[in-house]
Amino acid sequence: MNGRAAILARIQSALARPTDVSIRGDSSTTADRAFSRFLPRVGPDADALARQFAENAASLHAEFHHVDSRDHLVERLRELATENDWRTIATHDGPLAKPASEALRVPLHCVGPDDDAATLAQCDAGISECDALIAQTGSVLVTAASAGGRALSVLTPHHVVLATRSQLTPDLPTAFELLARKYADACPSMISFITGPSRTGDIERTLVLGAHGPRRLTLFLLESEE
């Protein structure tokens, strides 16, 4: 039995009695939504934002690198592949991620609709694009549309993110504005703000990286799209 009508009726009758003013304090009914002035300050220009992002990423134990060109990006990815002995990697059909991943000449799994998650789970790294890098918090904004679905950015032990300069965003409010603009008509079913590699403090409050999500998060900021 769906309790919809009953619950809505109870809500209506409950709210017929207004809240005591003494509890509510301010009786105004709308919140001040200019959140930026409450949240941590952000730098005034693109370089300051990049620096702020880098600082935040470092304190989160995320690796952050600037690369000048696509060639440079591929070079750095090859280094990662060698250092970490990547046997298979995964990526998605993105204009930046796919060609870069293919250039590594490591067995590549490109996520698709008929996939078995177990295949993806065997990959040593997942390479994805993103929607934004948020300077204020050191976060990466991904969606099911921009980052190859839901599992790619969380199932492998090493998540690599490819971002472009234009994706550097000052703060959380602007990031939400970006989402509203970009996905106005067709919102992806998953949006996620990723802030550092996976972690837990559940064991005696000791910080341990790589609880269930990736143990490593490597972010590349591509300065120029050539």
Partner 1 sequence: MTQTARQFQRNCDTTTNDADHRSWIRIALNQAGDARSTAQARFNDWDGACGAASQIKWESLDHLAENLESFEAKLLARGASVHWAETGEDACAYILRVAAERHAKRIVKSKCMTTEEIGLNERLEAAGLKVVESDLGEFIVQLRKEPPYHFVFPAMHLRRNRISETFEREIGAAPTEDAESLTLTARQELRNVFLSADIGISGANFGVADTGMISITENEGNARLTTSIPRIHIAVMGIEKVIPRLADLALLLPVLATSATGQTLTCYNTMIGGPRQPGEVDGPDEFHVILLDNGRTRLLADPGLRDALRCIRCGACLNICPVYRNIGGHAYDTTYQGPIGAVITPHLQDLTNWKHLAFASSLCGACTETCPVGIRLHDHLHHTRSMVAERKTSGLEAMMARMYAFAALRPGLFQWCGRQMRRTLRMTTRFRGGRLDPFRAWRHTRDLPAAPAKSFHDLWKERKA
Query: Within positions 67 to 86, which residues make up the interface with partner 1, using CB under 8 A?
Result: none
- Determine the Cα–Cα distance for residues 157 and 105; give it in Å rounded to an integer: 20
- Determine the Cα–Cα distance for residues 209 and 86; give it in Å rounded to an integer: 20
Please report whether residue 127 would count as binding partner 1 according to CB under 8 A.
no
CA angle (46, 163, 41) in 5-degree steps = 35
Question: Which residue among 47, 75, 79, 177 contacts partner 1 (CB under 8 A)?
Answer: 177
Please report whether residue 43 would count as binding partner 1 according to CB under 8 A.
no
Please report whether residue 145 would count as binding partner 1 according to CB under 8 A.
yes
Closest CA to 154 of 182, 113, 107, 196: 196
Please report whether residue 173 would count as binding partner 1 according to CB under 8 A.
yes
Please report whether residue 48 would count as binding partner 1 according to CB under 8 A.
no
Question: Which residue among 52, 139, 167, 169 contacts partner 1 (CB under 8 A)?
Answer: 139
Q: Are 158 and 216 in contact (CB under 8 A)?
A: yes
Please report whether residue 184 would count as binding partner 1 according to CB under 8 A.
no
In eight-state DSSP terms, residue 176 is H
Long-range contacts formed by 199-204: CB under 8 A, 24+ apart: none
Burial letters 43-68, b for 16+ CB under 10 A, else e: eeeeeebbebbbebbeebebbbeebe
Please report whether residue 179 would count as binding partner 1 according to CB under 8 A.
yes
Q: Which of residues 185-214 bind partner 1 (CB under 8 A)?
A: 186-206, 208, 210-214
Stretch that binds partner 1, among 47-55, 69-77, 97-105, 113-121 (CB under 8 A): 113-121
Please report whether residue 178 would count as binding partner 1 according to CB under 8 A.
no
Please report whether residue 51 would count as binding partner 1 according to CB under 8 A.
no
